[in-house]
């Protein structure tokens, strides 16, 4: 029974989606074309570059210069803040909106697709085909840079877990293609069957848990070097332990939340969750657990 | 023997996360954020970076540099690009995430993202007080 509930939770997390309304930036819009928006519902545990080709197809006749559709360096923004394409969609939503999961969420996330003025605050994308003057003819070409990026993030998280990247380096060509393909098509069973090869059978043998804590208000990401158990090797390290250790100002206690609390996949996390469970339930498809720090809103003292 | 890498951060034109929608979610009277900022500022230190060339990539001297831990990995790559750009034999490949021609790796295994902070990388992947960065003029590990 327990195993079934476990699987059910993991499947629900994998299938978590966000309603997104994408509009083309006015500056990149053909002057006389009518304004249209692209409505979609994208997995929290996926990445915007994967869906860029279908958005550009949709906007093809609205883009100011049709040639731009063949370029790679498009970018997204939310309320004028550039969106980090290299983070999972759900992580961007959580860190940019700062919404409390206990309160009503947005009906849709209004984001803008931009071409002009690529921002210098996010990782740049240089056209893969620039050197020989050719353009992107296939969607595969367009997101090739993302394949390389994603694979290196997987390798980094694998190094945290195992102290080497052997399980990724030694994947067969077939498995390697299936792994990337399952990310593109968001196919959980295939993805998980290959992903589990990078995690020791006994999770206590994990070297470092790959975790990134995003503190939007400080523009800061902390990747603490944390082990599954505490120094005495008996007690499991909990989420409360690492939050108190890394940001004691916001998490003065490891037993209860006071000023702020952590969310991931839009879910408020229990403070006594072990890091092993945190990783096994909530790791994203780039191999990392991403936690967003949200502030408790001060509640009015008297409500009549 | 080591040199200091001084990277001026590029001018920022776009609003950042801290100026965004999350701002009005922070308790107004809180001085906590100032406390955290102050602690983080105090924790900034110099990190030793040891550069090791791979394959036909040119040597760099000295091999060990010091850089502020508040920089990101991309700053290291643009430093190498500036230092070595003219001496590269193999010039066909550009790093699509920097626009430069240098590819950088940790533990001869993986390329961190250019926006990863050096403090995080040092704490997770540093050995014997150094962060060892191997670099190449083409994709070395894929």
- Give per-residue pLDDT as tens, A61-106: 999 998 888 877 899 999 999 999 999 999 999 999 999 998 888 8
Set of chain B residues whose Cβ sits within 8 Å of the Cβ of A222: 120
Residues 97-116 of B with CB under 8 A from A: 97-99, 106-107, 109-116
Pick the CATH number of A17-125 from 3.10.20.620, 3.90.1150.10, 2.60.120.10, 3.20.140.10: 3.10.20.620
Other C-beta atoms lying within 10 Å of the C-beta of residue B117: 18
Residue A34 DSSP symbol? P
Query: Which of A84-98, A131-145, A178-192, A251-265 is predicted least confidently?
Result: A131-145
B124 touches chain A (CB under 8 A): yes
**Predicted confidence band at A153 (pLDDT cuts at 50, 70, 90)?**
very high
Residue A134 has pLDDT above 80, yes or no: no
User: Which chain B residue has the Cα nearest residue A225?
Assistant: B124
Of the partner residues B26, B109, B117, the one whose CB lies closest to the CB of residue A155: B109
Coil vs helix vs strand at B35: helix
Strands B46-53 and A267-268, how do they pair? unpaired
Q: Do A165 and B109 touch (CB under 8 A)?
A: yes
Of the partner residues A79, A124, A130, the one whose CB lies closest to the CB of residue B20: A79
Other C-beta atoms lying within 10 Å of the C-beta of residue B96: 20
Set of chain B residues whose Cβ sits within 8 Å of the Cβ of A121: 12, 14, 16
How many angstroms away from the CA of B109 is the closest CA of chain A? 7
Do A71 and A116 touch, CB atoms closer than 8 A? no
Q: Do A298 and B27 touch (CB under 8 A)?
A: yes
pLDDT of residue B51: 98
Residue A23 has pLDDT above 60, yes or no: yes
Set of chain B residues whose Cβ sits within 8 Å of the Cβ of A217: 17-18, 22-23, 26, 33
Handedness of CA A154, A207, B110, B69 (dihedral sign): positive
Question: Token digits for A245?
Answer: 């250790």
Handedness of CA A265, A267, A271, A273 (dihedral sign): negative
Instruction: Please state, for a pLDDT cut of 90, what percent of chain A lies above it.
Output: 77
Which residue in this structure is represented by tokens 């997104």? A20
Counted across chains A and B, CB pairs separated by less than 8 A come out at 150
Q: Do A123 and B20 touch (CB under 8 A)?
A: no
Does this complex have an ipTM over 0.85? yes
User: Which chain A residue has the Cα nearest residue B105?
Assistant: A152
**Predicted confidence band at A249 (pLDDT cuts at 50, 70, 90)?**
very high
User: Which chain A residue has the Cα nearest residue B124?
Assistant: A225
CATH 3.10.20.620 domain locations along chain A:
17-125
Residue A156 has pLDDT above 50, yes or no: yes
Which residue in this structure is represented by tokens 């970076």? B49
What is the value of pTM for the model shown?
A: 0.92
The one-digit pLDDT tens for each residue of chain B (142 residues) are 567 877 655 555 677 877 777 777 776 656 888 899 999 999 999 999 999 999 889 999 999 999 999 999 999 999 999 999 877 777 678 888 888 899 999 999 999 999 999 999 999 999 999 999 999 998 888 7
Of the partner residues A82, A208, A295, the one whose CB lies closest to the CB of residue B14: A82
CATH 3.10.20.90 domain locations along chain A:
209-295
CA dihedral A183, A73, A154, A282 (to 10 degrees): -60
How many angstroms away from the CA of A209 is the closest CA of chain B? 10
Tell me how far apart the alpha carbons of residues B77 and B104 are, in angstroms, rounded to a whole number. 7
Burial of A232 (0-12, 13-18, 19+ CB in 10 A): exposed
Tell me how far apart the alpha carbons of residues B57 and B54 are, in angstroms, rounded to a whole number. 6
Query: Which of A158-162, A280-284, B10-14, B59-63 is predicted least confidently?
Result: B10-14
How many angstroms away from the CA of A188 is the closest CA of chain B? 24
Of the partner residues B23, B39, B107, the one whose CB lies closest to the CB of residue A159: B107
Residue bearing the bigger pLDDT, B31 or A13: A13
Tell me how far apart the alpha carbons of residues B110 and A156 are, in angstroms, rounded to a whole number. 6
A209-295 architecture in CATH?
Answer: Roll (3.10)
Tell me how far apart the alpha carbons of residues A37 and A286 are, in angstroms, rounded to a whole number. 29
Q: Do B17 and A217 touch (CB under 8 A)?
A: yes
pLDDT of residue A26: 94
How many angstroms away from the CA of B16 is the closest CA of chain A? 6
Instruction: Please state, for a pLDDT cut of 70, what percent of chain A lies above it.
Output: 92
B46-142 architecture in CATH?
Answer: Roll (3.10)
Query: Which of A179-193, A226-240, B116-130 is predicted least confidently?
Result: A226-240
What integer best gives the mean pLDDT of chain A?
A: 91
Q: Do A121 and B11 touch (CB under 8 A)?
A: no
Where in chain B are the domains?
46-142
């Amino acid at each position: 029974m327990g195993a079934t509930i476990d699987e059910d939770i993991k499947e629900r997390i994998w299938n978590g989606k966000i309603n997104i309304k994408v509009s083309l930036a006015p500056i990149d819009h053909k002057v006389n074309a009518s304004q249209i928006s692209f409505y979609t519902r994208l997995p929290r545990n996926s990445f915007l570059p994967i869906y860029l080709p279908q958005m550009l197809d949709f906007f093809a006749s609205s883009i100011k210069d049709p040639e731009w559709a063949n370029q790679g360096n498009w970018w997204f923004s939310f309320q004028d803040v550039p969106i980090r394409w290299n983070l999972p969609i759900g992580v961007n939503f959580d860190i940019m909106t700062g919404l409390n999961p206990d309160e009503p969420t947005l009906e849709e996330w209004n984001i803008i697709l931009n071409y002009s003025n690529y921002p210098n605050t996010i990782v740049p994308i240089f056209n893969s085909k620039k050197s020989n003057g050719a353009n992107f003819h296939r969607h595969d070409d367009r997101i090739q840079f993302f394949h390389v990026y994603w694979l290196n993030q997987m390798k980094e998280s694998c190094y945290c877990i195992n102290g080497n990247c052997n399980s990724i380096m030694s994947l067969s060509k077939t498995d390697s293609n299936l792994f990337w393909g399952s990310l593109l098509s968001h196919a959980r069973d295939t993805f998980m069957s290959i992903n589990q090869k990078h995690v020791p059978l006994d999770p206590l043998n994990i070297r470092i848990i790959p975790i990134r804590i995003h503190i939007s208000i400080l523009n800061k990401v902390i990747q603490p070097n944390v082990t599954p158990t505490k120094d005495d090797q008996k007690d499991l390290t909990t989420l409360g332990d690492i939050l108190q250790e890394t940001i004691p100002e916001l998490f003065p206690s490891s037993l209860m939340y006071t000023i702020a609390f952590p969310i991931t996949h839009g879910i408020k996390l229990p403070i006594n969750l072990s890091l092993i469970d945190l990783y096994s339930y909530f790791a994203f498809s780039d191999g990392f657990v991403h936690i967003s720090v949200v502030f408790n809103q001060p509640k009015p003292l008297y409500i009549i | 023997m080591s040199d200091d890498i001084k990277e001026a951060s590029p001018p920022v034109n776009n609003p950042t996360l801290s100026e965004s929608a999350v701002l009005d979610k922070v308790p107004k009277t809180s001085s906590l954020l100032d406390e955290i900022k102050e602690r983080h500022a105090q924790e900034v230190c110099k990190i030793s970076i040891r550069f090791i060339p791979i394959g036909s990539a040119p040597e760099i001297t000295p091999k060990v540099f010091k850089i502020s831990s508040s920089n990101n990995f991309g700053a290291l790559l643009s430093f190498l690009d500036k230092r070595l750009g003219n001496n590269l034999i193999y010039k066909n490949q550009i790093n699509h995430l920097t626009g430069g021609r240098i590819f950088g790796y940790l533990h001869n295994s993986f390329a961190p993202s250019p926006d990863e902070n050096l403090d995080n990388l040092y704490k997770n992947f540093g050995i014997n007080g150094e962060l060892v960065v191997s670099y190449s003029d083409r994709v070395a590990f894929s």
